[in-house]
Amino acid sequence: MSFNVGDAAASSAFLREHFGFREEMAAEGFASLTRDDVGLNVIFLRCGLPTLPEEQRDVRAAGVILAFVVDDLEGELERLERAGVAITMPLTVEEWGERAFQVRDPNGVIVQLVDWNGAPVT
């Protein structure tokens, strides 16, 4: 999963500090992060990099939610609040049982933590 952002280092630091990711690779304007238990890499690319196709260079991440399923949603909410992270969508419970809240990284990338502990079994 790749996001074009204004400051790749800031987004990388946010995921490392608050969500336990580690950088696998990094260079000026680029960071690739992972966690052993996530099964994907999150990549941040600085907007304007010449390595991107010209029509993508100035397109910023928008309308995408980076969602992580967690076991202790309330615990994660408390942990992030204690760390001073602004909660941009309060804990919400949907009629189908999904529970979630959201934060944003320094570049505006939405990170949603979710559980389905109250979801009906189908």
Residue range 7-30: mean pLDDT, rounded: 95
pLDDT digits (tens, 9 = 90+) for 23-75: 999 999 999 999 998 888 999 999 888 887 788 777 777 778 899 999 999 99
pLDDT digits (tens, 9 = 90+) for 88-119: 999 999 888 899 999 999 999 999 999 987 65
Residue 24 pLDDT = 95
Give the contacts of 37 (CB within 8 A, at least 6 positions apart): none
Distance, CA of 45 to CA of 27 (rounded, Å) = 10
Distance, CA of 19 to CA of 33 (rounded, Å) = 11
Length of the chain: 122
From the centroid of its chain, how far is CA 48?
A: 21
- The angle subtended at Cα 31 by Cα 29 and Cα 32, nearest 5°, is 150
Q: Where are the beta strands (DSSP E) in 1-122?
A: 2-5, 22-27, 30-34, 41-46, 65-69, 87-93, 99-104, 110-115
